[in-house]
Amino acid sequence: MSVAGMYEAGKAPDREVVTREDLNNFEHLRKLVTGMKLDAQYEVIPPAGIVNLNRDNHVVICGPRRSPIVAQVLEGDDNLRFAKDTAWHVVDQVTGKEYRSPADEDGSAGDVGYLGRLPRLDGKGTFLYLAGIHAIGASGVVHYLENNLAELYREVRTRRFSTLISCRYDPKSPGEPTRHPAVPTRRLSMRVAIDTQPGGAAPNEDWVAGTPTLAIVLDGLSTAGLDTGCRHGVPWYVAHLGSQLVAALADPEILLAAGLSDALERVAALHPECDLRNPGTPSATVAVLRQRAGFLDHLVLADSPVVLEGHQDITVITDLRVDDVLVELRAEVEQYETHTADHKEALRRFVAAQRQIRNTPAGYWVAAADPEAADHAFAGCTATEDVRAAAVLSDGVSRLVTEYAMATWAEVFTALRTGGPRELINTVRKVESTDPTGRRWPRYKSGDDASVAFCQW
């Protein structure tokens, strides 16, 4: 536990001290966790407010004005915000209501405390944060935790949340406040960590985005050097489709498939001078996860999966219709090592054949120039409370599990939690470097563009 320190009045600033309230808070929390067979130590945050938040099992008790680092993390709370006019107070950003300390309002014995599980700066976990408008407010929060921990855990589990605890106390024994929640405990919005890396020297044809409500991965399809009828190219196509999709889904009411249809139409309108009827027109897979009130919507079109980590099991949502067609031509590509002329020639034949059946009832569907493809996407929704984390991936990453069988989905989520998206992509590259020519794992190229959007709550 990190507790704010200050310099004692009148003494040289060579050693910081902790207030009696804060020490008392630490003692109460230590007793609470000892009852759960945990051990606790505390350290003092120096008066400059510099605290290392990138640690596991960390509790921070420190007013936001005491630490610029904590103040920055609090900026990310879209539920509650500390503010100051005549006095410090907290604004409920959902309802607009202001919460002030009774001590500042009418001098009565009470305060308001903030309690939240907030993201670490390194994105690899969270810490528990307690602060009062005045020091006594933090004691109210500690008192609340002592009496309501099990209930709170049932509600938020390991997710990020924030709430306010209102407390009253007897001015004669301020160490024993009574308390009750002043606002409902609310989970913080989805947090998306993204990364994308090209598979080789060629430009990246993947595209990824994360917003507080959306995670999107697009994987541009290989042209194998064949004519496309478009002078812009695949990286241009995915960048514009992605941006138009984010724009189309700005309205949370619109269905994902309708948003995709809109976006396809808008991108087509951006290059009318190109031959959009060319069967090789730039195209891409689409994978989208969207958070809205209580639910997570998903949409997949072609083989970029949305993977949901539940509390017990893992659900992979993917569209593998592309694998059901042209089986012989694919087998032909896969019999050659990736650097050979035979491989290149077979891949060209395979892509040429794919183009003939792409976006036809006999083949499989991808995002291209025709908005109709959106009607063929797989879409659905899941209750948010059933999902612990989610990953939206291009197949350049998901193949670590599905093709290479070098990790399980549970291991992928562990890697994402501890190392983030970049680390997971690096793992894929390391595995591929053990088989650079595709002898063990036949594939279209030695390394494919790889994208990850990792969603946590």
Question: Which chain residues interact with Zn ion by CB under 5 A?
Answer: 230, 232, 271, 274
Provide the minimum distance between the beta carbon of 231 and Zn ion in the complex, in angstroms, as a whole number: 5
Q: Per-residue DSSP letters for 307-318? A: EEEESS-EEEE-
Provide the minimum distance between the beta carbon of 228 and Zn ion in the complex, in angstroms, as a whole number: 8
Residue placing its CB nearer to Zn ion in the complex, 10 or 272: 272
Residue placing its CB nearer to Zn ion in the complex, 282 or 447: 282
Residue placing its CB nearer to Zn ion in the complex, 232 or 349: 232
Alpha helices in 157-196, H assignment, sequence order: none
Strand ordering across the sheet containing 295-301? 206-210, 214-220, 284-292, 295-301, 378-383
Residue placing its CB nearer to Zn ion in the complex, 103 or 270: 270
Provide the minimum distance between the beta carbon of 267 and Zn ion in the complex, in angstroms, as a whole number: 9
Provide the minimum distance between the beta carbon of 272 and Zn ion in the complex, in angstroms, as a whole number: 9
Name, in order, each residue with C-beta under 8 angstroms of 432's C-beta and a sequence gap of 6 or more.
441, 446, 447
Burial class from Cβ neighbours inside 10 Å (0-12, 13-18, 19+) for residue 323 reads exposed
CA distance 20 to 191: 36
CA triplet 451, 352, 446: central angle to 5 degrees? 40
290 forms beta bridges with 214, 297
3 state SS of 254: coil
CA distance 53 to 76: 15
Residue placing its CB nearer to Zn ion in the complex, 100 or 232: 232
Residue placing its CB nearer to Zn ion in the complex, 230 or 299: 230
DSSP state of 364: B
Residue placing its CB nearer to Zn ion in the complex, 184 or 203: 203
CA distance 150 to 199: 47
